[in-house]
Structure 1
Amino acid sequence: MIETPHLRLIPCDDTIFEAIKMGNNVLGRVLGANVPKRWTSYREVFTPSFHRWKTHPPLRDWWTHLVLYVPDNMLIGSCGYKGEPDAEGVVEIGYEIRPSHRERGLATEVAKGLVDHAFAHDLVRKVIAHTLAEESPSTSILKKVGFERTGDIQDPDDGLLWRWELLKQG
């Protein structure tokens, strides 16, 4: 688990993935937390994420986490890594916060928590992220955490994206 001042980033395991499939009431009981109806905008990705996680054990430290807002004991989003570090020590982060909890610095706290957790591992030399090719709250979050825009990529699904990188210091 990754803990930040206001959040707990809870790694998904078999029990949590199964609870997500069974619905918010079951997930709330498993987490011991309040689970609002629309805690994620990406519910459809959890089933393929679970299958990949099951068949690829190295992902167990580098995959999906749920974002629990401690003051309200409420599930407010998801985050994680898009796979384990590659041969060059690069890992990619992603995150989402439900609209009711945006503009409070929580997404920045999530991103920083993921970065700090990644850099605590000797294998990781660089953390990357991608955003749509426009200034947005996501680009502001990455800048606050210390990322720099390093280029553009063409994604087959999302079109032009900006690539962001943060190098491990020391």
Structure 2
Amino acid sequence: MKRSRLSFVEIGKNGEPIKAVQHLGETAKEVCQQTAALYRSAGSFAPWLGYLVLENEIVVGTCAFRSPPRNREVEIAYFTFPDFEGQGLATEMARQLIEIAQATVPGIRIFAFTLPEKNASNRILQKLGFGFAGETRDEDDRVVWRWELTPA
């Protein structure tokens, strides 16, 4: 496994990082609270959690498994904070989530949703081996594109 420049800090069920994080901005605090709400609705247990992502102890984004696996598949999500976009961080976040999922449940199907348009997130998923699986609707009835990674 390639050594990452990023570190993940688990977001606890109370909506707080499980270890001290310096300079936790408002966006990161909001993400932590949203993650706690997601845990309440979808359930959570390690490693199927949400994480703050740090580079050199600076919070640069967030990533998550949206819920524990169901039917041997799991959804990943990732977000780079605007000041840190364009540096390959989202690609590395997604790569690490994939590695965690595959190490925990060999043969798991990993999927992600994106907006229904060509964008950076599509390119990240394609770079990591995901294929376009079609258009669908998310839990809020919005049209999204589904991407799937064939199990290793």
If each structure's helix is expressed as a fraction of its own residues, which one has the higher value?
Answer: 1
Q: Which runs of 5+ in 1 are unaligned?
A: 21-26
Aligned match of 1:48 in 27, 34, 37? 37
Runs of at least 5 residues in structure 2 that lack an aligned partner in the other structure = none
Structure-2 residue corresponding to 1:74: 58
Structure 1 residues 161, 125: CA separation in 2 closer, same or farther (over 3 Å shift)? same
The code of the aligned residue for 2:24 comes to: V
The DSSP-based 3-state class of the residue aligned with 1:164 is strand
- Per the alignment, residue 125 of structure 2 pairs with 142
TM-score (norm 2): 0.84
Q: Secondary structure at the match of 1:104?
A: coil
What does residue 142 of structure 2 align with? 159
Structure 1 residue 60, shift from structure 2 partner: 3.5
CA contact (8 A) 1:148 1:166 kept: yes
Counterpart contact for 2:39–2:67, Cα < 8 Å:
no
How do residues 1-170 of structure 1 correspond to structure 2 at under 5 angstroms? 5-14=4-13, 17-19=14-16, 30-39=19-28, 42=31, 45-52=34-41, 56=43, 59-69=45-55, 71=56, 73-87=57-71, 89-122=72-105, 124-155=107-138, 157=140, 159-169=142-152
1: distance between equivalents of 2:100 and 2:91? 14
- The CA deviation at 1:147 is 0.7
How many residues were matched structurally?
A: 151
**Pair member with larger Rg:** 1
Mark the CA change 1:33 to 1:59 in structure 2 (over 3 Å): closer, same or farther: same
Identity of aligned residues (%): 27
